[in-house]
Amino acid sequence: MKKALVRLLKYITSRYRFFFWVTMLCVVLSALTSVGAYSYLSALVDQYITPLITMTDKTAGFLALSQALILLVVLFVAGVLAQFIQARAVARMTNGTMFALRRDLFDRMEHFPTGYFDTHTRGEIMSVYTNDTEAIRLMISQGIPNIVSALITIVAIVIALLVLNIPLALLSMLMVGLIVLVSMKIIGAAGNSYSAQQEQLGGLNEYVEEIFSGQKVVKVFRREKKCMEEFREKNEELRKSAYAATKYTGIVSAVNMQAGNIVFYFLFAVLCSIFVINGWGGMTIGKTIAFLSLSKTMNVPVILASGQIYSCVTALAGAKRIFAMIDEKPEEDEGKRTIAPGEIRGRVELKSVNFSYVPGTQVLTDINLLANPGEKIAIVGSTGSGKTTITNLLNRFYDLDSGEILLDQIPVSSFRKEDLRRQIGIVLQDTHLFTGTILDNIRYGNPLLSDEDCVKAAETARASDFITRLPNGYHTLLTRDAENLAEGQRQLLNIARAVAADAPILILDEATSSVDPRTEKLIQEGMDNLMKGRTSFVIAHRLSTIKNSDNILVLDHGRIIESGSHNALMEKKGAYYNLYQRGQE
522: amino acid identity, one letter = L
CATH architecture of 2-326: Up-down Bundle (1.20)
Q: What is the CA radius of gyration of the chain?
A: 36
CA distances from 72 to 28, 37, 53, 413 (A): 18, 6, 21, 74
Question: What's the rounded Cα separation, in Å, for the pair 149 and 455?
Answer: 62
Give pLDDT, residue 567.
Answer: 93
| pLDDT the model gives residue 250 | 65
Q: How far apart are CA 57 and CA 47, in angstroms?
A: 16
Residue 420 confidence (pLDDT): 94
**For 513, what's the count of Cα atoms within 13 Å in the CB-facing half-sphere?**
13
Query: How much is the pLDDT for 121?
Result: 77
Give the number of other CB atoms < 10 A from CB of residue 576. 24
Distance CA 333, CA 419 (A): 11
Q: With contact defined as beta carbons under 8 Å apart, do 83 and 26 qualify?
A: yes
Which residues, 6+ apart, have CB-to-CB distance to 195 below 8 Å?
A: 317
Low-confidence ranges of the chain (pLDDT < 70): 186-195, 198, 213, 216, 220-221, 248-264, 303, 306-307, 511-517, 519, 526, 583-585
Sign of CA dihedral 508, 394, 351, 347: positive
- CATH 3.40.50.300 in the chain is located at 348-584
Report pLDDT for 241: 79
- In the chain, where does the domain assigned CATH 1.20.1560.10 lie? 2-326
pLDDT for position 514:
56
Helices (DSSP H) in 327-437: which residue ranges? 387-394, 417-422
Q: Which residues pair with 553 in a beta bridge?
A: 379, 563
Backbone angles phi, psi at 357, to 5 degrees: -70, -40
The answer regarding whether domain 348-584 maps to CATH 3.40.1260.10 reads: no
CA–CA separation, 108 vs 172, rounded Å? Answer: 51
Which amino acid is located at 416 in the chain? R
d(CA 582, CA 544): 12
